[in-house]
Amino acid sequence: MRVAGVAAGLGSAAVLTGCKSSQSPSNGLFPVRLQADWYPQPEQGGYFAAVAEGLYKKEGLDVSILPLGQYTSGLQVVASGGADFGLGASDQILEAVSNGLPLVAIGATMQHDPQAVMVHSNSPIHTFTDLESHTVAAQPGATWFRYIVSKYHLKNVRETPATHSVANFLADPEYVQQIFITSEPYFVSKAGGTFRTILISGAGYDPYRVFFTRRDFLEQHPDIVAKFTRTTVQGWAEYLRNPGPANALILKLNPAQNPAQMQYTLQALKDGGFITGVPGAASDDPRAQIGKMTAERWAANNDQLTALGVVRKPIDPTTAYTLKFLP
């Protein structure tokens, strides 16, 4: 997951928690490479909590978190053996599996998708139907955009490439932009702008944010996959309770972050229930669903992608994920 304003000035070597490429045990710990979906940020907080507080090491894992550049595919990195685990979304995994990539999702980083459309406070756009005759700055080829156009029968909505900035939004009162609830609103508020957001999940398109592995790695190292999954869930619970150690590590590795921005992101994650599945729920709340996934959600997402033509080769969605390793 990318965040506005993070990439500038960072080299990949500066944001590694370690860099081990072999799969031979070292000092009694099994080296594991996790391919992140952007540079270090609170949206990856559970993984950094598990590193910073030694949770992975207690399970015998030496986890290196690798940053992802703007034009790199984490799916391809993991599929080709460049990393053992990766971060993505369930719709990406389903599409990748339909295209022949040997990937398997093993747990949910986020129960709900934090992507949204952001408009100015005085915009006439209040629902997705209102996007008719407007231009939306979106990631090229975004599946959610195809879904919105199809569901709401939009005939005259235009798409322009989104950037990793809110500069155009602040300059243009008519601007409509794809965002993450946890990111861009902070920068707009800091610049004195006002806005409203419409969560894409409210339209019924709500993929999981997931962590995944390669099928052959899972088959060869089921014990490592089990340890990584279990400890990652613990890491997310710990991050929601006590974000300090993880945030200190994130800030050290990614100085483009700042404490106020990180606090904003963490609060947005909590308020939206993105990690726990329940808005405002604490990590020890019995309603919390940290890491959980259901066959029903995967099947529904697969049906949506098939209807849109994103999944061109029909697949059994159960081949794209496993619930075996979840607590």
Give tens-digit pLDDT for 247-289: 999 999 999 999 999 999 999 999 999 999 999 999 999 999 9
For residue 116, give Cα distances in angstroms to 46, 218, 280, 319.
Answer: 22, 33, 19, 29
Q: How many domains does the chain have?
A: 2
Cα–Cα distance, 58 to 12 (Å, whole number)? 27
Query: How confident is the model at residue 327, as a pLDDT?
Result: 87
Checking if the pLDDT of 71 tops 80, the result is no
CB burial of 95-109 (b: ≥16 within 10 Å; e: otherwise) equals: bbbbeebbbbbbbbb
Among 179, 203, 227, give the residue marking a domain's end: 203
Confidence at residue 4, expressed as pLDDT on a 0 to 100 scale: 37
Last residue of a domain, one of 154, 178, 203: 203
- pLDDT for residue 24: 52
Quick: pLDDT tens for 5-56.
Answer: 333 333 333 345 544 444 555 579 999 999 999 899 999 999 999 999 999 9
Residues 265, 186 within the same domain: no
Do residues 59 and 156 both lie within one domain?
A: no
- Tell me what pLDDT residue 69 has: 76
Report how far residue 56's alpha carbon sits from residue 53's, in angstroms, rounded to the nearest whole number: 8
93-148 residue pLDDT tens = 999 999 999 999 999 999 999 999 999 999 999 999 999 999 999 998 899 999 99
The pLDDT value recorded for residue 20 is: 44
Put residue 239 in one of left, alpha, beta given phi > 0 → left and psi -120 to 50 → alpha: alpha
3-class DSSP state of 203: helix
Q: Is position 135 within any domain?
A: yes
Same domain flag for 233 and 155:
no
pLDDT band at 68 (very low <50, low <70, confident <90, very high): confident
Residue 8: the pLDDT is 31
φ/ψ of 190, rounded to 5, equals: -60, -30
Residue 210 confidence (pLDDT) above 70: yes
Spatial neighbors of 90 by CB under 8 A, at least 6 apart, are 105, 207, 208, 209, 210, 293, 297, 298, 301, 320, 321
pLDDT above 70 for 305: yes
Task: Find the CATH number of the domain harbouring 167.
Answer: 3.40.190.10
Enclosing domain of residue 256: 12-112+207-320
- Of residues 276, 279, 301, 292, the one with CA closest to residue 324: 292
Query: Quick one: pLDDT at residue 70?
Result: 72
Q: Are 178 and 162 in contact (CB under 8 A)?
A: yes
Q: Quick check: 79 pLDDT over 70?
A: yes
Count CB neighbours of 89 within 10 A. Answer: 24
Confirm whether 326 is domain-assigned: no
pTM confidence score: 0.91
Residue 144: both structure tokens together: 């959610």
Q: Do the domain assignments include residue 301?
A: yes
Q: What is the pLDDT of residues 228-243, one digit of tens each?
A: 999 999 999 999 999 9
Amino acid at 199: L
Tokens of 235: 């890491």
Look at residue 6 in the predicted model and tell me its pLDDT. 33
Six-digit token string for 70: 């703007």
Within this chain, do residues 108 and 120 fall inside the same structural domain, yes or no? no
Per the DSSP assignment, residues forming a β-bridge with 196 are: 119
pLDDT score, position 195: 98
